Amino acid sequence: MTMFRRAVTLAALLLAATTVPATAHDRHHGHSWHDHGSALPDRIELPSGWLPEGITTDGTNLYSGSRADGAILKISLRSGRTTRFAGAPGRVAVGIDHDRRRDVLWVAGGPGQEVRAQDADTGRVLATYAFPSASTRFVNDLTVTDRGVFATDSLSKELLVIPFARGRGARLPDPGRATTVPLTGDLQLAAGNNLNGIVSYGRTLVAVQSNTGLLFAIDSRSGRTREIDTGGVTFVNGDGLERGRGVLYVVRNRDNTIVVVDLDRGLRTAEVVDTIDRDDFAAAVDVPSTVALVKGSLFAVNARFGIADPQTADYWITRADARR
């Protein structure tokens, strides 16, 4: 599929960002994307050495986290203005999801073995959640539901849970409430990264196992896992998941593709109905890790895993039509 390519560059603005305390932020103003006749940009530059992996949206802004120091970049899709929330030494941002009710960013800490709740306007860390058991973890991705936050640990057969208390409004849970639920059933651990991207379908969660390419339905209360029948199709290198209108988008990072999957109502079977590959992105793509769906467009952050000199490499976000 040939697409009209509109490359919009913010590099000069983003490279001018300076490090500030973690509770503060810088604002950088640029030209409105609407001035260029484009409702949404096809390419958004990230700072050199950003090492991105996660991306989320509140419907108006994109948020991209950094594996380098846990910094977060907030990007207005209306004006192109960016706000950089400073990170801290040793901090990591992997999966990220926006909590509309609390206007909070929930951030998976990867090897830091934690989940952070951060103010979506200032980036201030409001609470940090650690989890019992398992001596080594990699908190990879998470999803926010009405009942709590559910995160994947790519190194164990445990679901990480931060439950929301009933009748407490939009208050954040106490850090001591963070817990784990053992995963039983069909899921079997293999060498490498196991459970990765995760989304919610009510009480049931759907997650992809990166190393085997299998999709699983997970009962969020009992932890019982059930392999979803894909007719033999696998999603090896499966990374971020994003729900669309009646479909699930599965990002296969090193394959540079987004697979469009139709799940049956009972989440027992899945059928591939489309594939978005290199030629379908509006600009260059290089190992997309996760995507955010905004107004019929998928914004994929390019993690560029395996690139030489990642601390100084260029990074960017690429748009693709969502198709469904």
Q: The tokens 């208050």 sit on which residue? A: 171
Measured in whole angstroms, the distance separating CA 237 from the mean position of its chain's CA atoms is 15
Torsion of CA 190, 196, 199, 204, to 10 degrees: 20
pLDDT band of residue 28 (cuts 50, 70, 90) is very low
Q: What is the pLDDT of residues 188-217, one digit of tens each?
A: 999 999 999 999 999 999 999 999 999 999
Residue 87: predicted pLDDT: 97
Residue 19: predicted pLDDT: 34
65 in a structural domain? yes
26 in a structural domain? yes
1 in a structural domain? no
- What average pLDDT does the segment 272-294 reach? 97
- What average pLDDT does the segment 242-255 reach? 97
Residue 33: predicted pLDDT: 52
Residue 100: predicted pLDDT: 96
Q: Is 39 exposed, middle or buried (0-12, 13-18, 19+ CB in 10 A)?
A: exposed
Residue 134: predicted pLDDT: 76
Name, in order, each residue with C-beta under 8 angstroms of 211's C-beta and a sequence gap of 6 or more: 190, 191, 192, 193, 194, 236
Does the pLDDT value for residue 11 go beyond 60? no
- Parent domain of 16: 11-321
- What average pLDDT does the segment 226-249 reach? 97
What is the number of structural domains in the chain? 1
- What average pLDDT does the segment 257-268 reach? 98
2 in a structural domain? no
CA 105 – CA 122 distance, rounded (Å)? 10
Quick one: CA dihedral 3, 240, 314, 16, positive or negative?
positive
Q: Which is higher by pLDDT, 16 or 281?
A: 281
5 in a structural domain? no
pLDDT band of residue 35 (cuts 50, 70, 90) is very low
Does the pLDDT value for residue 286 go beyond 80? yes
Closest-CA residue to 57 (of 296, 313, 228): 296
Query: How much is the pTM?
Result: 0.89
274 in a structural domain? yes
52 in a structural domain? yes
6 in a structural domain? no
CA 251 – CA 253 distance, rounded (Å)? 6
Q: What is the pLDDT of residues 96-129, one digit of tens each?
A: 999 999 999 999 999 999 999 999 999 999 999 9
- Please tell me whether residue 85 adopts helix, strand or coil conformation: strand
C-beta separation of 172 from 104 below 8 A? yes
Instruction: Give the residue ranges of DSSP H helices in the chain.
Output: 11-15
In whole numbers, what is the pLDDT of the chain averaged over residues? 90
Rg of the Cα trace of the chain?
Answer: 19
C-beta separation of 177 from 132 below 8 A? no
Q: The tokens 């299998």 sit on which residue? A: 214
Tokens representing 196?
């990765």
Residue 29: predicted pLDDT: 36
pLDDT band of residue 1 (cuts 50, 70, 90) is very low
Closest-CA residue to 68 (of 36, 46, 83, 35): 46
Q: What is the CATH number of the domain that holds 18?
A: 2.130.10.10
